[in-house]
Amino acid sequence: MSQLNITLNQEEILQLLSKDHDQAFRELLRKSLNSILMAESTAQLKAEPYERSEERTDSRNGTRERELKTRIGKITLTVPRHRNIPFKTLVFDNYSRSEAALIASMAEMVVSGVATRKVSNIMETLCGTTFSKSSVSEVCKDLIEKVNEFKDRPLTGKYPFLTVDATYFKVREKHRIVSKSFMIVYGTNQEGHREILGFEVYDNESKGTWNSFLQKLKKRGLQGLLMITSDAHEGIQDAISNVFPEVPWQRCQFHFDMNISGKSPKKYQAGIRAELQEMWNCDTIEAAQKKRDSIIADYRDVAESAMSCLDEGFESAMTVMALPKNLRRYFRTSNHIERLNKELKRRSSIIGIFPNEESLIRLMGSVLLERNDAVIAKKAIFSPANYTLMANSKTVAELKKLAEEQQKLRAA
């Protein structure tokens, strides 16, 4: 897309600096989004307005106005029209989807009578209007269809790497407030791009629910898997062993690090963390094993529980050493999915307690759908050529061997 230039006159700048600056921000947002719409039009037509170009694909045919509801009020945008090929824009979908989900969830709370006065006030601030049951129903129906389509989409191609995790949200259910487990999976495809592959809501985290979650991924077509990264939840380990027995588990090094230091006396924690960091950064598994032995020898007498934890969990935290060195840092922790969980918590804070499970799926699913667009657009971790080299190298055999060893340990 071409560069966007937004200019403000002196009066608009003064409005932004004044106490009553909502109108100024609405105008700034309107100008910004209109500039994006014009840039999208130019990119699709392959020509600027009035430009003669052999590459031009169509001609402009005026504009139309369309309202967009935002958190600072309604704004009216000028949407380009094309003569033969319809103009397509991502502005309304990307901006409105999670916004609409938030509004729908809050509106549902108001209609069902469980909202506080604060929620009602926020609704009017966001939308400048009240919502009837029928209007809420229509918005909810449209959103849940889009979210379910995203959540249950067929998985094509290969996804060599997965990261899974869960977080919790409070939901009203049968006149009680309960915590629901919200499971998420990140995948890295054979072209090196990460994607949010899916999510599910369960009553808890257990062997049964994690097995169900991974089975659904398999039924959707997940293939080409080489390694799965997660924390050490027993349910996840059991599910990987049952659903993908040929795939090794990588224990999240960050969580493992915290487990070890948490079992250490406080005065030794900083020193142990520094030593562990050196161990994680070793170039070879042999060097890492040597460093582990050194740490255990140095701290066994003063942090026995922590050193037992390190010794018992070391091998599963070092599965990543079978990968090429340049890829290890991307898959040795589940930090990227933890950051996503924090974003979900932040976005849900305005709701607090979801009125029902569907509301949770609708809002958090819309946020994930929006977030996935940004994730896919990021630079690839590796190239298709790198993947082909890795798939045809000894890496795959080493990973399968590690999976076999992990299966034997679980069976012992």
Report yes or no on whether pTM surpasses 0.85: no
What's the chain look like in SS3? Answer: CCCCCCCCCHHHHHHHHCCCCHHHHHHHHHHHHHHHHHHHHHHHHCCCCCCCCCCCCCCEEEEEEEEEEECCEEEEEEEEEECCCCCCCCHHHHHHHHHHHHHHHHHHHHHHCCCCHHHHHHHHHHHCCCCCHHHHHHHHHHHHHHHHHHHCCCCCCCCCEEEEEEEEEEEEECCEEEEEEEEEEEEECCCCCEEEEEEEEECCCCHHHHHHHHHHHHHCCCCCCCEEEECCCHHHHHHHHHHCCCCCEEECHHHHHHHHHHCCCHHHHHHHHHHHHHHHCCCCHHHHHHHHHHHHHHHCCCCHHHHHHHHHHHHHHCHHHHCCHHHHHHHCCCHHHHHHHHHHHHHHCCCCCECCHHHHHHHHHHHHHHHHHHHHHCCCCCCHHHHHHHHCCHHHHHHHHHHHHHHHHHHC
At 119-154, the pLDDT tens digits run: 445 445 444 455 555 555 555 666 788 889 999 999
**Stretch 149-161: mean pLDDT:** 95
At 64-82, the pLDDT tens digits run: 898 877 666 788 889 999 9
At 319-337, the pLDDT tens digits run: 999 999 999 999 999 999 9
What pLDDT is recorded for position 17? 44
What pLDDT is recorded for position 97? 59
What pLDDT is recorded for position 18? 45
366 or 340: which carries more pLDDT confidence?
A: 340
262 or 362: which carries more pLDDT confidence?
A: 262
What pLDDT is recorded for position 19? 43
